[in-house]
Amino acid sequence: MASDKVQTVTDSSFEELVKGPTPVLVDFWAEWCMPCRRIAPTVERLATDYDGRLTVAKMNVDENPDVPMRFGIRGIPTLLMFKNGELIDSFVGADESGIKKMVEKNV
């Protein structure tokens, strides 16, 4: 990952990451997913632009199947936003402006 502001989250670290009052954006992706790769710079830029107001993390769905299954993720990229452990918003797809709008609405 190019940005040190983007965390890697796993099935075992997920609950701890999303439980706080700071909004958390989780990008569910896979190495083979070209749309996931296309939005990666946008996700990294959001982590930098909203540093201190938003936590940004990526979860590889091939390596971590439990959390994606729990949230019914069937297509990637899927981006979910959490606050205080609760899902507050979601976005499916590689539309960068849609991702930015979701973040702006929730931060």
Full DSSP string of 44-107 = HHHHHHTTTT-EEEEEETTT--HHHHHTT--SSSEEEEEETTEEEEEEESS-HHHHHHHHHHH-
Q: Which of the residues 18, 24, 33, 46 is marked catalytic?
A: 33
Q: Which of the residues 18, 26, 36, 81 is marked catalytic?
A: 36
* Residue 36 is a catalytic residue: yes
Query: In the chain, what is the greatest distance between 2 CA atoms, to the nearest angstrom?
Result: 33
Q: Whole-angstrom Cα distance, residue 80 to residue 99? A: 10
Indicate which residues carry an active-site annotation.
33, 36
